[in-house]
Structure 1
């Protein structure tokens, strides 16, 4: 073991060496400057153009969405305003009431099963007539001086799945007034009286409806198929029609 005096001398020498080394370490640390961050490369013209296009597209989408929302809000507001505003009576309401009154007084109560105005067709009066009373009602509509529907403009057939319907569109060439007459027919055995004896122009229209929907027109002078072959099975305009060849 070294004497105490020698140990003290060694400890003092170590402290002095440590103190001398500190300034050198601090100087070395101060001499080291922090590394500067590397600058980001500038975007290429292609990238800049792409970024501009994406921004423009996003702005356009936002503008379209805003315009659509505004239009929908304005439409909803207009619809609500229309609902809140009482409708003016249709000028055709008087015609409809007159047709119903004349038919009911002349043919009988219950002849007109339903009545109304077709708002999508200039408020054309529409009457659903009991099929069995159609022949005498047709004569009244043609020959009555207040009505005078002397021209049959068109005939349509419709399959409503629950029933079939025939619609006769009549016109007065003298007054310009019009009316739609509807006849309902049972789907299983559809049959209504023919209008051909009253308006001869119904001839081919009724044949076409018979051919494509299978509605029989009692009293028609020549009821046979007009488009499909005589041996054709089924009626192509019926909603339950299943063609033998799916390509036809």
Structure 2
């Protein structure tokens, strides 16, 4: 029978899985497949698993239960194996790498920091701070029919937005990464200007949260911070 694989742990992990049922329409108990110094946490499945809300929450619940007992290599939602033999083979093949990563993640959790900038507030700041943008805007509003004015203003504002957001994003990263063992910056999407993942040691958790809170208060108008964590260290499993 096929297996759904949640995570990899070391053999000394307490693996408190009592009462946990797995993903799928006919959930089976979450259990362990061991190979040498490693264990894979799995459950039996008889269907293709899709990211339904219930199954995503179960996947996350298993990860959080495991995190409470020690370092864990969380797999992304949807990872499956054909059978126990395939799982055992994968554990043995990459044992050294898995063990090294588990040691690197020991005593750590992942935190996500997203920053969103209010576009209207940013536009007001640009028009306030840039004489050239302010002049173009005033000419358009006063009825100047030069067809090049809107294009020139749009290009100027777009360049200013990119420059300011890149500078702000870099400054936020520089302020937070000293509290982390590792970090990764992903491409921001939508209205986000920052999408930052940090690997933070447990003994620096409060220090990090305090610094993030202070930064959010000091950063100024028009910036919203969103902090998530502690989370399984998905971003730091290679």
TM over 0.5, shorter chain: no
TM category, shorter: under 0.3
Q: TM-score, normalised by structure 1?
A: 0.23
**Structure with more strand by fraction:** 2
* Bigger Rg, which one: 1
Q: TM-score, normalised by structure 2?
A: 0.24
